Amino acid sequence: PIAVGTGAALEMARRGDADAVLVHAPEAEAAYVQSGDLFGGRLIMHNDFLILGPDRDPARVRGAPNLEAAMRAIAAGGSFVSRGDGSGTEKKELALWKRAGIAPASLPRREETGQGMGATLLVAEARQTYTLTDRGTYLAFKARLTLVPVLEGDTALRNIYHAYVVNPGKHPTVRRAEAERFVRFMTEPTTQAWIGEFGRAKFGQPLFVPDADSAVRTRKAS
């Protein structure tokens, strides 16, 4: 396995440099399914994103009536650190700005690190700015941060993971049998149960919610 951001993983699929991918940017994934680079997608799990900020909350995000208002509050009265690396997290961030009617390029106090989530959290901590993170990385770095969640729980902040097989019809070097075996493994009850407990011993709560079984039930009901 190779651990890279979702943007890099999808590009590996486009080049045929991977057999299967586990990614978390549904809108971006759809384009690769449409292009024929990916198929056989299965819902695996989800967690959620959080907006972190200084506890004093200078942009008053906590008082915003909804997510769109929160993003506009940050744009008007706060600074923001972005991964800026094409990852699933950055794609979610850009979608949130778009939903609020804001062009990120127009924000003078938005900084891109071009780095992973952990490094970006530390930059945001040093700058005492707002940032978007997945809950798992936040929990892993929480002891090193004074930044706190100022917005969480909105359905738009759900972080959904799918597994796909890279299409061997388009990329002949893909090992289809192994790729399909990986996707099946990720959806097996034993794996799903493990996903549902992952992180509990260390953080007091699991980092992911397993979804493969619920997806099967939904398909059978439809």
Instruction: Dump pLDDT digits (tens) for 21-52.
Output: 999 999 899 999 999 999 999 999 999 999 99
Please state the rounded mean pLDDT for residues 193-201: 95
Q: pLDDT tens-digit profile of 53-81?
A: 999 999 999 999 999 999 999 999 999 99
Say whether pLDDT at 216 is over 70.
no
| Burial class of residue 220 (count of CB atoms within 10 Å of its CB; 0-12, 13-18, 19+) | exposed
* CA separation for the pair 57, 140 (Å, rounded): 22
pTM check: above 0.75: yes
**Separation CA 209–CA 211 (nearest Å):** 6
| 6-11: Cβ within 8 A, 24+ apart | 6/86, 6/87, 6/88, 6/91, 7/85, 7/86, 7/87, 7/88, 7/90, 7/91, 8/86, 8/87
The CATH homologous superfamily for domain 50-155 is Periplasmic binding protein-like II (3.40.190.10)
Across the range 153-179, mean pLDDT stands at 96
> Looking at residue 1, what DSSP letter applies?
-
Is the pLDDT at 137 greater than 60, yes or no?
yes
The arrangement of secondary structure in 6-46+158-221, i.e. its CATH architecture, is 3-Layer(aba) Sandwich (3.40)
Residues carrying CATH 3.40.190.10, the chain: 6-46+158-221, 50-155
